Amino acid sequence: MAFELLLNPDCFGIYLIFILITIAAAVGSIGFAFYLIKKIRKFPEGTEKMMEIAKAIRGGANTYLRTQYSTILKIGIPLSIILFIAIDLRGWIIGFPTFIFLAFLIGMVCSLASGWIAMYTATLSNVRTTNQVKEKGLKEGLETAFDGGMVMGLCVVGLSLLAVIVMYLFFSLITPNVSIAQAVAAGYADIAEFQAKNIEGSIIGLAFGASFAALFAQLGGGIYTKAADVGADLVGKVEAGIPEDDPRNAGVIADNVGDNVGDIAGRGADLFESATGENIATMVLAITIFMTVPAPYRVLAMLFPLVARSFGIFGAIIGKFFVKGKETDDPWKILSKGLYWTTAICAVFMAIVCGLMFPGPIFGFYFLCVLIGLGGSVLIGLITLYYTDQNYRPVMCISKASETGTATNIISGISFGLESTALPIIVIAISILGSYLIGYFAPIIVLGAAVPQELPFLSGIWGTALATIGMLSTCVMILALDGYGPITDNAGGIAEMADLDESVREKTDRLDACGNTTKALTKGYAIASAALAAFILFEAFLQIAGLSHLAVSIAFPYVTVGILLGGLLVFVFASFAMRAVGNASQDMIKEIRRQFAEIPGLREGKEGVKPDYNKCVDISTKSSLREMILPGSLCVVVPIVVGFVLGNQGLGGLLMGTTITGILMALFLNTGGAAFDNAKKLRKTMKDSSKPETIDAFNAAVCGDTLGDPMKDTAGPSIHVLIKLVGTISLQFAVIFAILPWLA
């Protein structure tokens, strides 16, 4: 069995240590997350009214997720049967069974479970954050919200790591023993290639299942949250002139539910997919690149991304204890200490891991590649901060443009969104090229004239994979910051709806403003890591499909057509996602207007008069589930159709087109949308009821934000899931497309 490779007596101790480190990190991560949940639950929820509001938000989120997950499973289970018939059945018939369908189901379920755990924790943390601010102060509220976000990071990464290592060991164990003659007859060069390719083919199914579930979870959640947000903002703030999260607004509960199902549950599933897909892509690349090297080094290379991610968990847990500050400190200053300390600790840990797993002179070169990824993630975070923070020129200019109306606000916001793609792309390009060149020259410098001809190129590709691992080493802390944002947003909403003292709302507003910054930063990080991961997926696809790099030249018509279709897929998908929010928000706007018009005393805020919150929750639930089916299905169907019609050459072109266009589009949508949002918040601080022009400028900024909302929370985050989903589908079906008779 392939498991015998792991039991090789010459290197069993080495393998066992690294496997145990990975399992310990995964289990420890989940265990520490449950400790934080227990800690959060001990805090009181506050007044009866606060508990009532929190219960309504929690109930709405649970109802939506049950319905959404049921819909995803109804699509996913038949798809797993198709995978079994199309791919697994052939192996079972010839006596070499594979379990791609099982890996797909496990990936899908784990991705959805990550989203549910994240949502459960967020709905525990939101009201307790409000109460901590009310009873103790801003610092304690920040720590509670951050702990809630930390649970999401620890559970998502820990569950991903556990799923990958368990599936890897399982597939190693069940891969059958074959003779060299059987391996060659099955189309493999030798026994080692047979064993590795069987493990590779099955484990890719895990990434496919995670990507599939994440796309629908992120897309559906994004449609829900922004339909509610746009409806509540336009009717409440602009038409009725009431504050954000005012309890008279029928859409406010749906809006707060949306923060949990979109920004928390959707992001949890999305980030599980990111962690899983990037680990597996690197493992697949290791299998192909290190196929000809001795077994110990091949297995160590396959385990490297998992061990590196394990030490990243340890680094984040240590970094968490640096999230401390004073009551008067800026919230971002407190949170950024945790991020920067985690980055520094992870750099030290990555040096240790590289030294242990790549001993000898090559260690220094590969560690430099990891550092490039780490440095790139910090730079992209700072660039995103510049374009989305209220203290810098872009947001100030958009805010200033609001003084002359909605049109100039939108023009300014779109222009800065387009501009914001430049610097991140330059950083991504330098990261890819720098890590490739260091990896390329490493064996030449170490081995000199004795270097095999293919090795520098393969080592260069491995260098880019290491840069991706470096960028993802801080993943837990980044996810904690991502989860912090929606929790503080909910906390502010609960403070407003519960009619708490103005000083409490002022503090929750400070936490919320910082949350917008952290959400924008983490989305920039997610896109950058998706870009590097897409490069790895593309290289892995070429290896599995048996294509040379020259075979995917633009000189070939199949490739050119594939590139055009890939770019088109991104634009059409973004169009459908934005339109879905527009369609769903129209229903929401009509309902909120109807309630203001038909419920006596609602607009005036008469005591005892309440809107029908459940009606708006029901509208958002039904419309988001209806609207997510078409764009989500498109992402699954298009790569398969292109592969069947144009073969792997056309599919390679589709991958290139989707990746290049998708990264640019996602950067534009995410950063531009966040800039619109913070320009609105900046205008809010300038409102003065004695100066009508400030009210008009604020209303213009609100209208701009209603465009920015679906950009940054629906279309933008879904696009980087789309990029990786197309990559995992291509990896999964490449073997089939390579043998289609009409493409021979």
pLDDT in tens, 510-520: 888 788 778 77
Nearest to 58 by CA among 118, 114, 122: 122
**DSSP character for 242?**
P
- Higher-pLDDT residue of 199 and 101 is 101
Q: Give the span between the Cα atoms of 732 and 727, in whole angstroms.
A: 9
Span 294-316, average pLDDT: 86
Span 152-180, average pLDDT: 81
The amino acid sitting at 189 is A
Min mean pLDDT across 371-375, 531-535, 640-644, 711-715 is at 531-535
Per-residue DSSP letters for 44-93?
A: ---SHHHHHHHHHHHHHHHHHHHHHHHHHHHHHHHHHHHHIIIIIHHHHH
Does 190 have pLDDT greater than 60?
Answer: no
pLDDT for position 63? 87
Beta strands in 98-176 (DSSP E): none
Q: Could you read off the pLDDT of 520-575 as tens digits, one per residue?
A: 778 777 788 778 888 888 888 887 777 776 778 888 899 999 999 999 999 999 99
pLDDT for position 9? 43
Share of the chain above pLDDT 70, in %: 92
Does 7 have pLDDT greater than 50?
Answer: no
Does 411 have pLDDT greater than 80?
Answer: yes
Q: Give the span between the Cα atoms of 247 and 250, in whole angstroms.
A: 7
Share of the chain above pLDDT 90, in %: 33
- The 3-class secondary structure across 458-493, one letter per residue, is HHHHHHHHHHHHHHHCCHHHHHHHHHHHHHHHHHHH
Q: Retrieve residue 728's tokens.
A: 């995992």
pLDDT for position 543? 77
For the chain, what are the domain ranges?
3-743
Ranges 332-341, 568-577, 625-634, 684-693, most confident: 568-577
Does 401 have pLDDT greater than 70?
Answer: yes
In 360-474, alpha helices (H): 362-388, 393-401, 406-419, 422-447, 455-472
Span 336-342, average pLDDT: 91
Q: Give the span between the Cα atoms of 223 and 234, in whole angstroms.
A: 16
Exposure string for 386-406, b = 16+ CB within 10 A, e = fewer: bbbbbeeebbeebbbbbbeeb
Span 167-191, average pLDDT: 66
CA atoms within 13 A on the CB side of 608: 0
Does 173 have pLDDT greater than 80?
Answer: no
Span 726-737, average pLDDT: 84
pLDDT for position 570? 95
Contact indicator for 161, 306 with CB cutoff of 8 Å: yes
pLDDT for position 178? 58
pLDDT for position 546? 75
The amino acid sitting at 299 is V
- Higher-pLDDT residue of 393 and 294 is 393
- Higher-pLDDT residue of 735 and 346 is 346
Contact indicator for 521, 384 with CB cutoff of 8 Å: yes
Contact indicator for 640, 733 with CB cutoff of 8 Å: yes
Q: Could you read off the pLDDT of 648-692 as tens digits, one per residue?
A: 889 999 999 999 999 999 999 999 998 998 898 889 888 877 788
pLDDT for position 4? 44
pLDDT for position 177? 63
Span 173-184, average pLDDT: 63
pLDDT for position 548? 72
Q: Could you read off the pLDDT of 588-623 as tens digits, one per residue?
A: 888 889 988 888 888 887 887 888 888 888 888 888
CA-CA-CA-CA torsion for 431, 436, 438, 442, nearest 10 degrees?
160
pLDDT for position 186? 58
Does 193 have pLDDT greater than 70?
Answer: no
Does 2 have pLDDT greater than 90?
Answer: no
CA-CA-CA-CA torsion for 433, 435, 436, 442, nearest 10 degrees?
140
pLDDT for position 226? 84
CA atoms within 13 A on the CB side of 16: 8
Q: Could you read off the pLDDT of 55-100 as tens digits, one per residue?
A: 888 888 888 888 889 989 999 999 999 888 888 887 777 667 778 8
Q: Give the span between the Cα atoms of 723 and 281, in whole angstroms.
A: 13
Work out the mean pLDDT of the chain and round it to a whole number: 86
Question: Is the pTM here over 0.75, yes or no?
Answer: yes
Distances (CA, A) of 90 to 85, 94, 172, 201: 8, 6, 19, 13
Q: Give the span between the Cα atoms of 675 and 407, in whole angstroms.
A: 16
Exposure string for 624-644, b = 16+ CB within 10 A, e = fewer: bbebbeebbeebbebbbebbb
pLDDT for position 417? 94
Q: Retrieve residue 202's tokens.
A: 């099955």
Q: Could you read off the pLDDT of 682-719 as tens digits, one per residue?
A: 898 888 777 888 889 988 998 898 899 889 888 988 89
Distances (CA, A) of 332 to 212, 343, 482, 491, 574: 34, 16, 13, 17, 31
Q: Retrieve residue 576's tokens.
A: 């459908």
Q: Taking phi first (over 0 means left), then psi (-120 to 50 degrees means alpha), and beta for anything else, what does residue 362 get?
A: alpha
Q: Looking at the chain, how many residues does it have?
A: 744
Q: How confident is the model at residue 344 (pLDDT cuts 50, 70, 90)?
A: very high
- Higher-pLDDT residue of 202 and 665 is 665
Give the H/E segment covering residue 137: none
Burial class of residue 210, CB neighbours in 10 A (0-12, 13-18, 19+): buried
